[in-house]
């Protein structure tokens, strides 16, 4: 093995290390050889690709659903055997460095993402071919960030205007002769990665039992392959509120922090999409739980410092009999 080391690296264009449509992607390929080495082809390629794959059991057969979409594909040939087979191109012994430059297409493409049954990846790969049986490869992925300000909505949708508006929902359920009313309010629908959001829960418990609110972040991943679809959901417990005894009412406010590394909401990929909801559940034993879901859009970016508001008091009172 005359090729001892093969490495592909890229140059960052900003402090975050992310790339976007229209950026210049440059770097170098480094190859270490122990002696003079003949090659048939030596190239570096850049690719942006979305791919989904999952399996379904249909009777005794396993059916594989798979699809992919190529956003761009470029090759830069460093060395190539002009005679196609006699290994006339030479790499001298020692450390050899070869620069390259690509221009990322200035088109709408989704951000990098890795989900349950699919991923959106942007990568560089160097490939050195000495013969049909002797091929060296190395690969690295680079983080890509879409330029779309709102990758979760089409231009015709008015969801954008509601990102800063308060979201509210109410649900009433009857348990025997008792009634439970659940009111949930979130201060807004759009929240940045790492940002905090206040959620208030008003519980009017006119039943005979104690109820306890629980706060969840609901993640929904949807994957599509040739008209077939599959959904993966995941609920993350944020917090548990104080119990509300029978025949009382109580208002509870929780400040919930969105995880900093949580992938942003997106719809701008034909093979997959990512959505979120805020969910509040009342444990009502032994009856079915009472729940409310509110829309939540996770935006890319650094959170702004949270303003200090006056703490909301907790209202705790007996219901009129």
In tens digits, what is the pLDDT along the chain, a chain of 321 residues?
Answer: 789 999 999 999 999 899 999 999 999 999 999 999 889 999 999 999 999 999 998 888 999 999 999 999 999 999 987 765 555 688 999 999 999 999 999 999 999 999 999 999 999 999 999 988 899 999 999 999 998 877 877 654 556 667 888 889 999 888 777 899 999 999 999 999 999 999 999 999 998 888 999 999 999 999 999 989 999 999 988 889 999 999 999 999 999 999 999 999 999 999 999 999 999 999 876 667 789 999 999 998 776 655 554 434 333 445 555
- Whichever domain contains 50, its CATH number is 2.60.40.640
**Domain that includes residue 128, residue range:** 3-141
Q: 217 and 135, same structural domain? A: no
Q: 185 and 129, same structural domain? A: no
Q: 311 and 173, same structural domain? A: yes
Provide the edge-to-edge strand list for the sheet that holds 248-257: 167-175, 178-186, 196-206, 248-257, 316-318
Q: Which helix (H) or strand (E) holds 277?
A: strand 272-283
Q: 122 and 195, same structural domain? A: no
Q: 207 and 120, same structural domain? A: no
Q: 114 and 174, same structural domain? A: no
Q: 171 and 136, same structural domain? A: no
CA distance 104 to 142: 12
- Whether 309 and 199 have beta carbons less than 8 Å apart is answered as no
Quote the number of domains for the chain: 2
Using DSSP, state whether 162 is helix, strand or coil.
Answer: helix
Q: 313 and 214, same structural domain? A: yes
Q: 205 and 135, same structural domain? A: no
- 149 within a domain of the structure (yes/no): no
Q: 312 and 194, same structural domain? A: yes
- Whether 282 and 213 have beta carbons less than 8 Å apart is answered as yes
Q: Which two tokens stand for residue 68?
A: 């992919």
Distances (CA, A) of 48 to 34, 91, 135, 290: 34, 29, 23, 44
Q: 25 and 114, same structural domain? A: yes
């Amino acid at each position: 093995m005359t090729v001892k080391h093969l490495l592909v690296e890229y140059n960052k264009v900003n402090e975050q290390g992310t790339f976007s449509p229209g950026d210049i992607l440059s770097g170098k390929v480094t190859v270490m050889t122990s002696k003079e080495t003949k090659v048939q082809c030596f190239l570096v390629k850049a690719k942006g690709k979305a791919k989904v794959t999952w399996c379904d059991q249909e009777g005794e057969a396993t059916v594989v659903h798979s699809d992919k979409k190529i956003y761009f594909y470029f090759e830069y040939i460093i060395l190539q055997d002009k005679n196609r087979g006699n290994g006339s191109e030479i790499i001298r012994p020692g450390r050899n460095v070869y620069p390259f430059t690509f221009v990322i297409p200035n088109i709408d493409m989704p951000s990098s993402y890795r989900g349950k049954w699919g991923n959106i990846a942007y990568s560089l790969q160097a490939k050195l071919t000495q013969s049909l049986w002797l091929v060296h490869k190395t690969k690295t992925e680079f983080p890509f960030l879409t330029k779309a300000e709102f990758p979760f909505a089409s231009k015709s949708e008015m969801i954008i205007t509601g990102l800063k508006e308060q979201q509210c929902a109410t649900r009433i359920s009857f348990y025997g002769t008792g009634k439970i009313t659940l009111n949930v309010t979130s201060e807004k629908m759009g929240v940045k990665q790492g940002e905090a959001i206040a959620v208030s829960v008003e519980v009017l418990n006119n039943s005979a039992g104690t109820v306890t609110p629980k706060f969840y972040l609901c993640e929904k991943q949807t994957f599509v392959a040739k008209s077939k679809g599959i959904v993966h959901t995941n609920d993350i417990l944020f917090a548990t509120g104080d119990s509300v005894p029978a025949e009382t009412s109580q208002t509870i406010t929780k400040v919930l922090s969105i995880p900093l590394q949580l992938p942003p909401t997106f719809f701008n990929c034909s093979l997959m999409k990512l959505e979120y909801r805020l969910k509040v559940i009342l444990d009502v034993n032994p009856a079915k739980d009472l729940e409310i879901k509110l829309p939540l859009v996770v935006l890319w970016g650094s959170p702004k410092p949270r303003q200090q508001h006056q703490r909301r008091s907790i209202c705790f009172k007996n219901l009129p009999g």
